[in-house]
Chain A
Amino acid sequence: MNWIQGLLIASIFALVVFLLRSRRSVQSQAWVKVGFLAFMFAGVYAVLRPNDTTVVAHWLGVDRGADLMLYALIVAFGFSTLNTYLRFKDLELRYARLARAIALEGAQSPE
């Protein structure tokens, strides 16, 4: 197995475990922001010196920097999809509880 394969699979599992275990604590929100900042800096650097991504790609056993970016994008997309799904489920539950409170307020007895 290539280095990149191990790395990608490990990151996918890490993201899933992190997301499923996260209870939206203050720390996890902070880490998301830290991760985003790191992403921004890495992005700016990659734009300024595109050939460096190829160097990194070679370290990891990938031929081209562009391929490495694509793999990273796939993982990031999976992360964001799962995150959105869980957020929606959470919102759905709050919404149901709100609607329930309204419904119970207006309950009617027969006669």
Chain B
Amino acid sequence: MTGEMSHVWIVVPAFNEAGVIGDVITDLRSIFANVVCVDDGSADDTGDVALRAGAHLVQHPVNLGQGAAIQTGVEYARSQPGAQVFVTFDADGQHRVADVVAMIGRLAAGDADIIIGTRFGPGVSRPPLLKRVVLQTAAWLSPRGRRLGLTDTNNGLRVFNKTVADRLDITMNGMSHATEFIMLIDENRWRVAEQPVEVLYTEYSSAKGQPLLNGVNIIVDGFLRGRMPR
């Protein structure tokens, strides 16, 4: 299967994930030849573990945030020969490799430039109640998200083609990058589709997940983004 997937690059942003990153990379590498881990200035040995598990490693000299790490990973991947399909995949083990394969199949149909995972599709288990309320409020508060018909604007699992990767320019370093992704989709008129995915809420990923209050930061940053000098 590795041969068929050589045009796919998986971008895994990681910050202090030494405990789980090895398994996540190994799992991805069982299907995908090309995995790049962006170590976002971790204090532990996340980078070494990822490299040993078979990932390409790009290390930020200082911690910059997940948005910056995704941008770095995509810039690395898009400069690699033959790279056509790009995937963002969280390092904490909350996504399933099977969903990535399905999303790549969906992208190959050619009617979308970017496929975003959603936790609110048919046939997948729903997130815990509080999380669900917050996520759906966030999606509802995003006018662009609503216009594009997106139900889960903060899902970390995305699959996109080279058109998107070449033009991607995430300027929100922190957690607001999910909103910025939606804005870029809208501004560049990329064709977007959603794919229901399973998100595994392990104790580990819940503990590391963003606090709900961070939603306030995300909304304010999103409002100010368009006014920033680029």
Binding site for B on A (CB under 8 A): 20-21, 23-24, 86, 89-90, 92-93, 95-96, 99-100, 102-104, 106-110
A24 CB contacts on chain B under 8 angstroms? 229
Checking B76, B173, B229 against A96 with a beta-carbon cut-off of 8 angstroms, the contacting residue is B173
Q: Which of B16-24, B59-67, B84-92, B98-106 contacts A (4 or more CB under 8 A)?
A: B59-67
Asked if residues A100 and B228 are in contact (CB atoms below 8 Å), the reply is no
Q: 8 Å CB contacts to A: which residues of B47-61?
A: 51, 54-61
- Size of interface on B: residues with Cβ below 8 Å to A: 24
Q: A96-B64, A96-B173 are in contact. Are A21 and B228 (CB under 8 A)?
A: no
Asked if residues A99 and B64 are in contact (CB atoms below 8 Å), the reply is yes
Checking A89, A92, A104 against B76 with a beta-carbon cut-off of 8 angstroms, the contacting residue is A104
Asked if residues A103 and B56 are in contact (CB atoms below 8 Å), the reply is no
Kindly supply a per-residue 1/0 record for chain B positions 64-83, scoring 1 wherever the CB is within 8 Å of any chain A CB and 0 otherwise: 11001001100110000000
**What are 8 pairs between A and B in contact, CB < 8 Å?**
A21-B227, A93-B171, A96-B65, A99-B62, A99-B64, A104-B58, A104-B75, A107-B76
B62 CB contacts on chain A under 8 angstroms? 99
Bound CA–CA A37/B103 (angstroms)? 60
Asked if residues B171 and A103 are in contact (CB atoms below 8 Å), the reply is no
Residue of A nearest to B59 (CB): A103
A108 CB contacts on chain B under 8 angstroms? 51, 56-58
Asked if residues A110 and B54 are in contact (CB atoms below 8 Å), the reply is yes
Residue of B nearest to A21 (CB): B227
A102 CB contacts on chain B under 8 angstroms? 61
Asked if residues B228 and A86 are in contact (CB atoms below 8 Å), the reply is yes
Residue of A nearest to B47 (CB): A108
A89 CB contacts on chain B under 8 angstroms? 224, 228
Asked if residues B51 and A110 are in contact (CB atoms below 8 Å), the reply is yes
